A and B are shown apart, each in its own frame.
Chain A
Amino acid sequence: MMRETRYEAIVIGAGMSGSWVAKELCDKGVKTLMLDRGPDVKHLKDYPTAGKYPWEYELRGAMSTSHTEANPIASRCYAYKDGATHFFAPDDAQPYIQMQPFDWIKGYQVGGKSLMWARQTQRWSQYDFSTPDTNEFGISWPIAYQDLAPWYSHVEEFIGISGEQDGLDVLPDGVFQPPKEITVVDKHLRHIVKENYKDRHVIYARCAHLTDPKEIHREQGRGQCQNRTICERGCPFGGYFSANSSTIPWALRTGNLTLRANSVVHSIVYDEATGKAEGVKVIDANSKEEKVYYADVVFLNAGSINSTAILLNSQSDRYPNGLGNDNGLLGKYCGFHNYRARISATCPGFEDKVVDGRSPTNVYMPRYVNLDKDKDGFKGAYGVAIYTARYRKQEIEAIGEDLVKDLMKDKNFHSWSIISMMMGETIPKETNSIALDPKAVDQYGIPLVQINIGYDENDEKMMEHFYHEWEKIYKLAGFTNVERIDTNQAPGLDIHEMGGARMGKDPKTSILNANNQLHAVDNVYVSDGACMTSTSYQNPSLTYMALAARAANHYMKSRV
Chain B
Amino acid sequence: MKRRNAVRSLVIFSLGAGVIYSCKDRYEAIKLLNLKHLEIARNELDILDDLSRMIVPFQEIIELKDHTALPFVLNMVDKLNDATDRQLFIKGYRTFDTETASLKGKAYSAMNKVEKDLLLTELNENELDASPALYQVFNTVKLRSIQYLTTSEYYQRKINYYEMTPSRFYGDVSLMDLNNMNDERD
- Chain A residues in the interface with B (C-beta under 8 A): 51, 53-60, 62, 64-66, 180-184, 186-187, 226-230, 237, 352-359, 392, 394-401, 403-404, 407-408, 410-411, 413
Contact = CB atoms under 8 A, between A and B. Distances in A.
B146 A228 contact: no
Interface string B47-83: 0000000111110110000000000000110011110
Given A355-B169, A357-B170, A55 B82 contact: no
B9 interface: no
22 contacts: A53-B153, A55-B156, A59-B79, A62-B76, A181-B169, A186-B171, A226-B165, A226-B166, A227-B168, A227-B169, A228-B167, A352-B175, A355-B172, A356-B168, A394-B146, A394-B147, A396-B146, A398-B124, A399-B121, A400-B57, A404-B56, A410-B178
Interface string B120-147: 1100100000000000000000110011
With a 10 A CB-CB cut-off, give which of B120, B150, B155 has the most chain A CB atoms. B150
B80 to A, nearest CB: 6
Contact of A60 (B56, B81, B147, B168): B147
Contact of A404 (B57, B147, B152): B57
A55 B169 contact: no
SS class, residues of chain B in contact with chain A = helix
Given A58-B75, A59-B76, A400-B54, A65 B82 contact: yes
Closest 9 CB pairs of A and B: A357-B168, A55-B18, A181-B171, A184-B172, A183-B171, A64-B79, A56-B18, A227-B167, A357-B169
Given A59-B80, A404-B61, A407-B146, A356 B18 contact: no
Contacts of B178: 354, 356, 410
A73 to B, nearest CB: 18
Contact of A227 (B76, B80, B166): B166
Interface in B83-138: 117, 120-121, 124
A353 B121 contact: no
Nearest to B150: A394
Contact of A180 (B55, B143, B169): B169
A312 to B, nearest CB: 40
A410 B179 contact: yes
Given A60-B151, A352-B176, A410-B182, 9 more contacts: A55-B151, A58-B15, A59-B75, A356-B173, A394-B147, A399-B54, A399-B142, A404-B61, A408-B61
Contacts of B165: 226, 228, 237
A229 B79 contact: no
Nearest to B144: A60
A65 B57 CA distance: 29
* Chain A contact surface mostly: loop
Nearest to B152: A55
A425 B44 CA distance: 56
A392 B61 CA distance: 20
Contacts of B16: 56
Given A51-B164, A55-B153, A62-B80, A359 B171 contact: yes
A455 B9 CA distance: 52
Interface of B: 15-18, 54-58, 60-61, 75-76, 79-82, 117, 120-121, 124, 142-143, 146-147, 149-153, 155-156, 159-176, 178-179, 181-182
Contacts of A187: 171-172
Contacts of A60: 147, 151
Residue from A55, A181, A230 having most chain B Cβ neighbours under 10 A: A55
Contact of B167 (A55, A229, A353, A401): A229
Contacts of B176: 352
Given A53-B153, A60-B151, A358-B167, A66 B79 contact: yes
Contacts of A400: 54-55, 57, 117, 120
Given A53-B18, A62-B80, A64-B79, A401 B169 contact: no
Nearest to B16: A56
A54 B151 CA distance: 7
Contacts of B162: 53-54
Contact of B81 (A55, A65, A183): A65
Nearest to B145: A403
A33 to B, nearest CB: 37
Contacts of A410: 159, 178-179, 182
Given A58-B15, A410-B178, A226 B61 contact: no
A398 B168 CA distance: 32
B132 to A, nearest CB: 19
B104 to A, nearest CB: 17
A305 to B, nearest CB: 32
Nearest to A180: B169
A397 B120 CA distance: 12
Nearest to A56: B18
Contacts of B143: 395
Given A55-B151, A187-B172, A352-B176, A357 B80 contact: no
A324 to B, nearest CB: 48
A51 B79 CA distance: 24
A181 B146 contact: no
Given A226-B166, A407-B146, A353 B172 contact: yes
Contacts of A359: 169, 171
B69 to A, nearest CB: 12
Contacts of B75: 58-59
A400 to B, nearest CB: 6
A370 to B, nearest CB: 32
Given A228-B167, A229-B167, A354 B173 contact: yes
Given A65-B79, A394-B150, A401-B57, A356 B117 contact: no
A65 B80 contact: yes
Contacts of A357: 163, 167-170
B36 to A, nearest CB: 8
B127 to A, nearest CB: 13
A401 B156 CA distance: 20
B176 to A, nearest CB: 7
Given A183-B172, A226-B166, A399 B55 contact: yes
Contacts of A58: 15, 75
Nearest to B146: A394
Contacts of B146: 394-396, 403, 407
Contacts of B18: 53, 55-57
A222 to B, nearest CB: 15
Contacts of A398: 124
